[in-house]
Structure 1
Amino acid sequence: MKTAKKLGLAVAVATLGMGMSAASMAEEVNIGFSGPLSGGAALYGENVLSGLRMAAEEINANGGFDINGEMHTVNVVALDDQYSPAQAATNAKRLIQESEAPAIFIPHSGGIFALMDFNVEDDFLIMAYTSVPTITAQGNPLTLRIPPTFDGYVKAFTDYAIEEYGTKLAMGGATHEYAKIWGSMIEKAWEAKGGEVVAKNPMDYNKSADFFTGVSKLLAEDPDVMFVGGASEPTGLVIQQARQLGYEGAFIMMDQAKIDEAAVAAGGLEPLENTVGVVPLSTDESEAAQSFIKRYEEKYGKTPGSEAAYNYLAMHALVEAMDMTDSTDPKTIRAAMNDAIAQMDSSKNPYAVEEIDEAGGFVTMPTMSVVKDGKIMEVTF
């Protein structure tokens, strides 16, 4: 960030003799968030929000950021949408009109698609936490996709599961838009690989904690592999209840759910034996990831997942772009985001994102892991 400007302002503040810090005199820039903060996906929404808030607090504790010689701080304005696209759209309108937010973070594809209907006209940047490939394929000039797309996961997970566990698949994913897209793609990939989909029974992971009836319908067809996934906590419950009903097969876990987080709800890693999913952040041994994990654990008392880490780095990049351009204009911020990513301190970038592609996606390599003998093992693909 612009150290010379900050130093000049600090001197000016000191000469006032008022005993006030630069941060206490700074103007606020509101950054919006709309996501599930109640219901079955509440933990997922809170995990996303924790990363945003952690980044904002670090930025503010460091004096904020400079726009044309004036210091500004970040204020995260968070609204609950209970995973509803319609409520997300209503929240976005409120965040623009009442809080004048130049950017809104949103962690579900249904809400993102709803906001894309009017974000260019209303002039705000969508910070999209979703791996749905079609988000950036839409060509929306004010949308950025934060995690990698899941199409790479679909093929890799399918290939591995068929080769290792068998060809009969039962579809037991969630019912929200993101899960429907994931499910449709993995069904096609499974059949293209020569597998058979023997049962389909999507379940509402957001409203239920009792999945015995739905899981029983899937198990009646004696699958080798079960596709599951929504937020981590209900996904863990689905797996736990499948094991309680006697299921001994494998699981493919949609990337929204994280193995280590689902294990907490399932009662440990044992029920997740032979579960294929993404590599949890907790197993990343890079210096940047371990630094973030340590600071997060000190602040929140728990190990962070990818939701927190990705949104943490995205908030830092967003503020870096505002600082670089002396602007809160969404179009100006968007144009500077690639340079902002490149200039970020590595400690603020736990996933080592190096660039944003032409479509607006943060470039990160997808990963795959499997639970073997009670341990999470990374698999190269």
Structure 2
Amino acid sequence: MYRKLIGLLAGSVAYAATSLAAGACEIKIGATGPLSGAATQWGLAIKGAADFVAAEVNAKGGLKVGDETCTLSVVPIDAKYTAEGAAAAANNFVSQGVKFVLGPMGAPEVTGMKPIATRNKILMMSDSYARDAIGPRWPLTFHMGPGPAAWGDPIVKLAKEQFGVKKALTIATNDQAGTDVAEVVADIYEKNGIPTTKEYYQRGTTNFAPIVTRIIAANPDVVDTVSSPPGDAGILVKQLRQAGYKGIIGRLGGPGTAEILRVAGGADVVGDFYWFEPVFIDENVRKLQDSYRELLKSEPPENNFFYLFVAGGRALAQAIEKAGTYEDTQKVAEALRSINVVDPNLGEGRWIGQATYGINQELSLPFGIGTIRNGVEQPVVRVEAPVER
């Protein structure tokens, strides 16, 4: 009996020591993006993805990193969709010892965070359509989903075929987040034989009347809202329709259809619309939605960037385990580049980016093309993961 008691006590001590060791190993995952303002949907998608990946990993017992078993925790910070906000977020992450970050979103945020993250060896999993979103100068900056240069062509071809587009106009913010994307998108239209005019506006604009007047005078077949925040795009579409514009609305940029429809007044108001869906929603993706509800007891974010960042977060967790370290982000980056991404919900992905950026750190996954015809939403068309051209 005495020996049995000693054995039980020894086992309890060993269990307590193991638990303390496990509890001491906590990996902080930063989540940053626009958590306020017109682009809030995008930031909430990133935060939701980080929350889900952490909950999923912890529910399975944590990450096995070398001889340790680690839990994940999330540190969310609003980058405010500005370079200054993102730089402040990066410095905040440094002060808290965060070495891995999901986000930020958009050219201003990524531009503001990259130098600080690079200097402090923070591994970023960002999303931006800027021309220098990633590159050899930033070996720890990864890209969650390619930009329009990779997936824009099939969408424009569909627009020509289904909507008869012959003349286009792009409208975007007059900062890097808008101009970089608008130039790429306009080039895609032009290469498909569609003359394109570019318009720009000041971020934060709520009265588009002068621009609406010019658009109606130009009479394009399609007005493409490119990467403008969903709230801005919704206001613009509403004001265009109120002014009598009868043409098509396009969106070869960041997603946000639900918010655009809400602000504009519904599918009946929008009328004819085509857009890029970063993820094709099928039964497997719906299972991910169910898993989110089960683990976090709430509804998943509406914006489809959520799914891309889940895939990226899962790949990051896998890379940390493979590298056997949560301190050396360079080793984790090496492991991440070597992983064949096969997400259980989103399907097979691949690392691309060499042709566009000079480095294969851009996660390419199957995507969708959404359309609304005469106010009625149509089934989304699936397109396989883009590859280098």
When normalised by structure 2's length, the TM-score is 0.81
Q: What SS does the aligned partner of 2:128 have? A: coil
Gapped regions of structure 2 (runs ≥ 5): 1-9, 353-358, 384-389
Counterpart CA distance in 1 for 2:12 and 2:313 is 29
Q: After superposition, where does 1:152-163 map in structure 2 within 5 Å?
A: 152-162=150-160
Counterpart pick for 1:214 among 211, 216, 231: 211
Q: Is residue 37–residue 80 contact of structure 2 (8 Å, CA) maintained in 1?
A: yes
Letter in 2 for 1:378: V
Distance 1:50 1:302, change over 3 A: closer
Greater strand content: 2
Counterpart pick for 1:354 among 349, 355, 365: 349
The corresponding residue for 2:379 is 377
The corresponding residue for 2:99 is 102
Moved over 6 A (4+): 19-24
| Matched residue count | 361
Q: What SS does the aligned partner of 2:246 have? A: coil
Q: Is residue 131–residue 145 contact of structure 1 (8 Å, CA) maintained in 2?
A: no
Counterpart CA distance in 2 for 1:173 and 1:76 is 32
Q: Give, in angstroms, the shift of residue 330 of structure 1.
A: 0.8
Counterpart CA distance in 1 for 2:55 and 2:14 is 26
Q: Is residue 26–residue 71 contact of structure 1 (8 Å, CA) maintained in 2?
A: no
Greater mean deviation of Cα atoms: 240-249 or 159-168:
159-168
Greater mean deviation of Cα atoms: 185-194 or 66-75:
185-194
Letter in 1 for 2:62: G
Does residue 85 of structure 2 align to residue 87 of structure 1?
yes
Q: Give, in angstroms, the shift of residue 335 of structure 1.
A: 0.9
The corresponding residue for 1:291 is 287
Greater mean deviation of Cα atoms: 143-152 or 272-281:
272-281
Q: After superposition, where does 1:130-209 map in structure 2 within 5 Å?
A: 130-132=128-130, 134-138=132-136, 140-162=138-160, 164-198=163-197, 200-204=198-202, 207-209=204-206
Q: Per-residue displacement from partner, 1:166-192 (whole Å, max 9, x unpaired)?
A: 433233223342321111122233344
Q: Give, in angstroms, the shift of residue 225 of structure 1.
A: 1.0
Q: Give, in angstroms, the shift of residue 155 of structure 1.
A: 2.7
The corresponding residue for 1:6 is none
Counterpart pick for 1:223 among 211, 220, 223: 220
Letter in 2 for 1:371: I
Q: What SS does the aligned partner of 1:173 have? A: strand
Letter in 1 for 2:249: F
Gapped regions of structure 1 (runs ≥ 5): 1-11
Q: Give, in angstroms, the shift of residue 352 of structure 1.
A: 1.8
Q: Is residue 145–residue 278 contact of structure 2 (8 Å, CA) maintained in 1?
A: no
Q: Is residue 367–residue 382 contact of structure 2 (8 Å, CA) maintained in 1?
A: no
RMSD over aligned CA atoms reads: 3.0
Letter in 1 for 2:98: A
Q: Is residue 129–residue 311 contact of structure 1 (8 Å, CA) maintained in 2?
A: no
The corresponding residue for 2:122 is 124
| Rg larger for | 2
Letter in 2 for 1:232: P
Counterpart CA distance in 2 for 1:175 and 1:365 is 30
Counterpart CA distance in 2 for 1:300 and 1:182 is 34
